[in-house]
Amino acid sequence: MKKSLFFMMLLVLAIALCACSGDTKKDDPANNVNDQGQTASSDSVSYGGEIVVGISQDLDSLDPHKAVAAGTKEVLYNIFEGLIKVDKDGNFVPAVAASYEITDGGLKYKFKLRDNVKFHNGKVVTADDVIYSLKRAAGKLETSDPEVVTVSAFSIISEINKTDDGIEVVLSEPNTELIGFFTSSIIPNDYDDQAKAPVGTGPFKFVSFEPLVSFVMAKNDDYYGEKAYLDKVTFKITSGGDSAFMELLAGSIDIFPYLTNEQAAQLEGKMDVLDGTMNLVQALFLNNAVKPFDDVRVRQAVCYALDRNEIINVTAGGRGDVIGTNMFPSFAKYYDASLVDNYKTNIDKAKELLKEAGYENGFTFTIKIPSNYDFHVKTGQVIVSQLAKVGIKAEIQLIDWGTWLSDVYKGRQHDATIIGLDSQMAPSDVLRFYPTDSSKNFMNYSNAQFDEVFAKAKAAVDETEKANLYREAEKILTEDAAAAYIQSPAQLVAVNSKLGGYTFYPIYVQDMSTVYFKK
């Protein structure tokens, strides 16, 4: 019997060793990590070829106006374009429009259209298509489709008119930030099959979609701008986690944009690992209306108790930017970097604040985290252990995404939650969660002073004044400890070393038109 036991243990050991041999390399992966995507040198670029890109969730709709998930928009970015688009430095550059002009102090937006833009079905883009698309996205068509997720910022559009060379959008109140929303997709006005076979103007055109399997697109040879290098790109829907990584190791995926830190370390030498930022505001969002978080001192105590650098070290191997307010560092114009150090880790101060607020012996609360986001779950675990040091007992409750939407986001039934908030390229959009009367204010934050500054900032026309007002608003959030802000997480992308040109943008997209095979 003893002998057989020993034999079995040997067997188990052998299998365990076999399984571990992949991650025995312990070298720092940092030396093969590039920082800012890849830059092309013209002599190494070649045209043609096809690649497979791994994505971790299924697409929620092929109709660009119905797609909600960031994981869908990043794919459809290749098929559809707006009047303008965002370049890699965060500038608004013309796309379907040839140029644009904001006049009358932000009351009128004029877009001159290009005359050589064609939809993938061969039709030339006209002002009517553009007007139809904008109205559809704004929910202003006569018969509206309730599945279209309207751009709420477009609610201030009062009329859209045709001009000699394009269109003119008139607003009911001045707003210079609206330009960021004109990235909204332009679609043909006489085509009803977007959800099955999408037709846009982008550098790639749709080929096929099989639920849970793949989304395939091919180069658009009629593209008006710089044409794509690759002939065909397949977005393969993986079930995420280990199985996606296994496929990466086996070489059946060329690009995978959602590596964990451990996976990046294991890929060293096998693939290029690029390091960008997700442009999300990750925070422990506290429900400002429930006890004890209705007391600003308690919220501040939580902020002081957290060690953000430790969180980033544990969850992402030190990659990621610590933030102190609800704004990402890459949005530099509006970002107040000085707020990062507002709540330097200080256990004594945290305890003192808790004592003042009457919670000398700490308290217990629950953090609801959507279970599909491993990264937030990990963050939560570190936070629980850090809060324990000041006597606060936090419990993690994992819920699924549907429950998060209904209970936490809409129902506001939570003590606290951890999530990453993304936004359009407009500061008012980044801060849209905080006005007292906002339907998106899932943390029940309320401060009349913030509301006033925010409204002023939104209305401001002068850029410097606007930026200053937004910084002021951010400062209020930080001082109120509206939430315990953590980081703008890093995004680690595995890229086959035969490929070049992968580019990071300040918005969440996978632009395949810049990717090429190296010669």
Partner 1 sequence: MNYYIKKLISFLITLFCVALLSFLLFQIIPGDAAMSKLGIEATPEQVEELRAQYGYDRNVFARFFSWFGGIFTGDLGVSIKYGPMKVSELIGARLPVTIWLGVLSIILIVVISIPLGLICAKKPGGVVDIVSDWVAQLFMAVPSFVQGILISFVFGIILSLFIPGKYVSPLTDFPEFLQCMFFPALAVALPKIAMTVRFMKTSVKKELKCDYVRTAKAKGCSVNRIMWKHVLKNSMLPVITFIGLIVAEVMAGSIMIEKVFNLPGMGLLLVNSISNRDYPVVQAIVMYIALIVITVNFLVDIAYRLLDPRQTEEGL
Interacting residues toward partner 1 by CB under 8 A: 4, 7-8, 11-12, 15, 18-19, 22, 58, 60-63, 66, 68-69, 139, 146-147, 149-152, 195-196, 210-213, 236, 238-239, 242-244, 246-247, 249-253, 372, 400-407, 409-411, 439-440
- Please give the Cα distance from 496 to 128 (Å, whole number): 42
Considering the complex, what minimum distance in angstroms separates the CB of residue 211 from partner 1?
5
- Alpha-carbon distance 206 to 62, whole Å? 10
CA distance 363 to 343: 21
Cα–Cα nearest to 179, from 125, 110, 112: 110
Q: Is 286 left (phi over 0), alpha (psi -120 to 50) or beta?
A: beta
What three-state secondary structure class fits 18? helix
In 3D space, the residue among 108, 113, 235 whose CA is nearest the CA of residue 186 turns out to be: 113
Nearest to 85 by CA among 509, 404, 384: 509
69 or 296, CB closer to partner 1? 69
CA distance 503 to 513: 10
Of 244 and 298, the one with the shorter C-beta distance to partner 1 is 244
Q: How far is the CB of 418 from partner 1 (least distance, A)?
A: 15
User: From the CB of 13, what's the least distance to partner 1, in Å?
Assistant: 12
Paired strand residues for 92: 86
- Residue 66 vs 88, nearer CB to partner 1: 66
Q: Which is nearer to partner 1, 244 or 323 (CB)?
A: 244
Which CB atom, from 213 or from 388, has the smaller least distance to partner 1? 213
CB closer to partner 1 out of 54 and 203: 54
CA atoms within 13 A on the CB side of 470: 29
In contact, 189 and 141? CB cutoff 8 Å: no
Comparing CB distances to partner 1, the nearer of 172 and 439 is 439
**Cis amide bond preceding 257, omega within 30:** no
Distance between CA atoms of residues 279 and 475, nearest Å: 19
